[in-house]
Structure 1
C-alpha cells in the first residue's frame, strides 16, 4: 500500500511561528510532527510515500530528503497554487492509482493502527474509509454519523452548533480505492470534506467510518499544539522521542550540560547539545530544543523552546512558545502564551 501525506498547508493559525516554517515541521518533543507520521507508516509496512508541498517546500525537502533515514521512500508533489486536500491527491494520481492507498495529514499527531484501519476498509469493501475520533470540540472538524456497521449516513464539514449531531469527527486519515481518483476534478481546487465526501454520500457510495481508539491530535492551532506537547510527555501516545530518562519522566540528551544547582521538574525534556546555567529551574511540561543556551538563575515553567534558542540570566518565562533562533534578553519576565520568533 502507498500513502499520500498532506504537507502543503500554510499553517496560518500558528502564525507567527509558521511564517518561516511549514506546519508539518513544527516540533513536538523536539521532532517535526511529520516525522512521527512517517515512522507510523513504516511501522505498518507502508514505505512508498508522496508528500505534497507548498509552504516553505525546501525546508521539508532538505530535512526528509528521500526518506531513507526513516525507512521509507519519499517522492514530492509541488503545488505552486494550493489544490485543496482532494485536489492534491488527484495531482498525485499516477503514484496512487495502482491499488488501495492511504491519505494522512502531515500535521496530525497520532499512533493510529493503520493495519487495522486498512483491514476494516477491505472487510467492508468500501470505496473510502474515514478514520473517526470522538472529541469534545467539534466545530473545527467534519462531524460524521455512521450506522451500526460503520457505514457513513451523514457528514457535515465544520458545522454550526445547530448542525452538530455526533461527537465523531473526521481526522483527515483515509483509506481509498483508486476508483475514487476519477471522482476528483483535475487541476482544480477540491476538498474531501466540503465536496467529495458529501457527493459520495449523495450518490450512495460505500463510505465507511472507522472509530479510532488510539491517540489523535490535530496540531493546527496553539491550544492543540500545547496539548500535543503535554500529552506526549504524559505518555498518552505510543511514539518515541529523543532523550535519556535520568529520573522518572525527566528526559535529558546525553550531550546536554546541566549546571550546578539546576532543578528539573517532571515531566520535562532537554534537547541535544543544550546548556542549562547554574541555579536555573526547569518547570514541569517544559521542552527545550537542541543547541539551546539557558542562563543562570532563570525560571522556565510550562514552556516550549525550539532549536538554537538563547535565554539570558535571571529570565522568568511561563506558558511560552519560543521559536527557532530566538533570544530572550536578561532580567525580563514573559508570561501566558507569548510567542516569540525572530525569523518573521
Structure 2
C-alpha cells in the first residue's frame, strides 16, 4: 500500500452535550471504561496500521497536547492538531488538513470522536482496498430508521445509491455510523469552508458511484451525552464479556462483584460487603464503602461512595463523594469535586463542579456552581488547565485557597 495510513478525528468544540464532565476535561480526554475516549480510537487505529493522526478542533488544544504527546511516544505515531478559526462542519476539516491527508496515495480514516463500537478499522481498511472506490462509510442497523438518514445501496452491491433523510415510510434500516475511509482524491471535492460531508459530499460521491458501505457488526453508540454515555458503557462492557476480556473484574477475586460486566481499577478500594454490578466501571483511586450498592454507573478517578449508599444509572465525577445512605439515580451526573451529603436523594440532576448538595433533588435539574466558579468560557479554560494536574494537587490547591 503506497504511503502511510492516516486518520482524521473530528473533535469539534467544547463538548457542551457532555457537561458537566467537559467543564473539567475536554471531551476527548473524558474517561470511557477507564480510558480516555480518544485513546480507544488511537489504539485501534494503530492496530490498523495508521501512522499519522490529525485531530480537528475549533478551540485551542493546549490541555490535550501534553497528554497526546505521551500517546505519540507510546505508540510510535505522529499526532497533529488542525485548529479551525471558524467551525468548518464535518467536511471542511478534511480540506484544512489537505497537506497531511493528501501528501501521498494512501487512504485515510475519518472518525467522529464520540462514537463507541468494536472499532473494526482493519476490516474497514481491507474492504475499502478491495472494492477500489473513492470512499467507504460504515453503516449500522437501527430499530427506528425514521429518526435518521437512511443509507440505500444498489441491490446486491455495496455501492451506495442514495440517502433518504428521516423516511416516513420504511425504506431500510442502515444509517451512517460516523466512521469512514477515503482515497485522497476525495479532497478535490471539498473546499476550506463550512461544509457538511453528509449532505454535500456524500450525495455527489453516490451519484458518481464512488461511495460504498460496509455493515458494522455488533454494537454502536454515540456517547456524546450522559444518557448515551451510560448506554454505550453497558454495550462496551457486554462486548468485553463476549470477548472474555481480562479488563473485567474477576468475581473470584472481587467478592463485591455480584453481577457481571464490571471493571474495577487496580488502585480502587472496594469493601467486600459492597454489591457491584451489573454494568459498572470503578475508576482509579476510588473508594466504595461497606454495604454500598452500585448498578449501571461509572465512578471517575478519586470518587468516593460511602457506606450503604446506592448509585444507579449515574456518573460520579472526579473526587466527588456520595454520602452514607445517600441515593443517586436517574442519569445523575456529578462534576468534579461534588459532595452529596449523607441520606440525600438525587434524581436526574447535573451537578456542576465544586458543589455541596445537602438537600434532596427529586426532579431532573441543573445544580449550578457557586459564584466563585462562574460558568463561562474563561472558567472552562481554567478548569481544563487545572485538570492537567493530579487529583491530589487540585485538592491541595483548593485547601490553600
Q: TM-score range by the shorter chain?
A: 0.7 to 0.9
Could you say what secondary structure the match of 2:199 adopts? helix
Query: Which of 184, 191, 195 does residue 196 from structure 2 map onto?
Result: 191
Residues 16 and 270 of structure 1, relative CA distance in 2, 3 Å threshold: closer
Task: Give the number of the structure with larger relative contact order, counting CA–CA contacts within 8 Å between residues 6 or more apart.
Answer: 1
1:29-48 residue pairs with structure 2 within 5 A? 29-48=33-52
Deviation at 1:145, TM superposition (A): 0.4
Please, what TM-score do these two structures have when normalized by structure 2? 0.76
Gap regions ≥5 residues in structure 1: none
Distance 2:243 2:113 in 1: 18
Deviation at 1:244, TM superposition (A): 4.4
The Cα offsets for residues 9-67 of structure 1, whole Å up to 9 and x where unpaired, read as 44343344445543333332232222111111112221311111125633332332252
| 2:175 corresponds to | 169
Deviation at 1:239, TM superposition (A): 10
The Cα offsets for residues 199-238 of structure 1, whole Å up to 9 and x where unpaired, read as 2233x24111111114321113333222101112223686
1:183-262 residue pairs with structure 2 within 5 A? 183-186=189-192, 188-202=193-207, 204-235=208-239, 244-245=249-250, 246-247=253-254, 249-259=261-271, 261-262=273-274
1:272 paired with 2:284, answer yes
Aligned length: 338
Distance 1:243 1:341 in 2: 30
Q: Is the 8 A contact 1:30 1:242 kept in 2?
A: no
Worse overlay, 323-332 or 101-110: 323-332
Distance 1:321 1:139 in 2: 30
| 1:62 corresponds to | 66
Distance 1:209 1:184 in 2: 20
1:305 paired with 2:305, answer no
Distance 1:77 1:140 in 2: 32
Q: Is the 8 A contact 2:282 2:298 kept in 1?
A: yes
1:154 paired with 2:165, answer no
Q: Is the 8 A contact 1:28 1:228 kept in 2?
A: no
Could you say what secondary structure the match of 2:162 adopts? strand
Question: Considering only aligned residues, what root-mean-square deviation do their CA atoms show, in Å?
Answer: 2.6
1:123 paired with 2:130, answer yes
Q: Is the 8 A contact 2:230 2:297 kept in 1?
A: no
Residues 290 and 88 of structure 1, relative CA distance in 2, 3 Å threshold: same
Distance 1:44 1:124 in 2: 18
Distance 1:259 1:114 in 2: 40
Residues 218 and 56 of structure 1, relative CA distance in 2, 3 Å threshold: farther
The Cα offsets for residues 277-298 of structure 1, whole Å up to 9 and x where unpaired, read as 333x222222212211222232
Deviation at 1:304, TM superposition (A): 2.2
Distance 1:35 1:82 in 2: 24
Distance 1:3 1:51 in 2: 9
Q: Is the 8 A contact 1:262 1:276 kept in 2?
A: yes
Gap regions ≥5 residues in structure 2: 255-259, 355-374, 376-401
Could you say what secondary structure the match of 1:115 adopts? helix
Residues 74 and 334 of structure 1, relative CA distance in 2, 3 Å threshold: same
The Cα offsets for residues 172-210 of structure 1, whole Å up to 9 and x where unpaired, read as 211111111011012x101110111112233x2411111
Please, what TM-score do these two structures have when normalized by structure 1? 0.88
Could you say what secondary structure the match of 2:263 adopts? strand
Structure with higher Rg: it is 2
